[in-house]
Amino acid sequence: MEKGFADKEEKFNDNRSELVTNKKGIAKFLEGKQFTYTLPGKKQINIFGSLVLGLNLILIIVTLLYLNNESFHDFIFNIGR
């Protein structure tokens, strides 16, 4: 076997075109559909951004209360039972 590129091109039989796949379920339903993706508008970006930042802020406050306030710690501990 020689190193490098071969001088002649070998043609391979592509049997994939002969294979028939039977799609089932959601793949069969979506077979002929075309979906287009549109970017969200400024209002939607602001709503989701505010939601994410608000939930992160709540998580930080709850974590600080859990670590520093013994009664809140006991409350959360009893709810988890």
Reported as a single tens digit per residue, the pLDDT across 31-54 is: 777 777 788 899 999 999 999 999
Residue 4 within a domain: no
- Give pLDDT, residue 25: 78
Residue 6 within a domain: no
Find where tokens 């508008």 sit.
41
Residue 7 within a domain: no
- Give pLDDT, residue 11: 58
Residue 2 within a domain: no
Residue 9 within a domain: no
Total domains present in the chain: 1
Domain with 44 in it: 15-79
User: Contact, 76 vs 66, CB < 8 A?
Assistant: yes
55 phi/psi in degrees, rounded to 5: -65, -35
User: Contact, 73 vs 66, CB < 8 A?
Assistant: yes
- Give pLDDT, residue 37: 77
Residue 49 within a domain: yes
User: Contact, 74 vs 81, CB < 8 A?
Assistant: no
Q: Is the pLDDT of residue 56 over 60?
A: yes
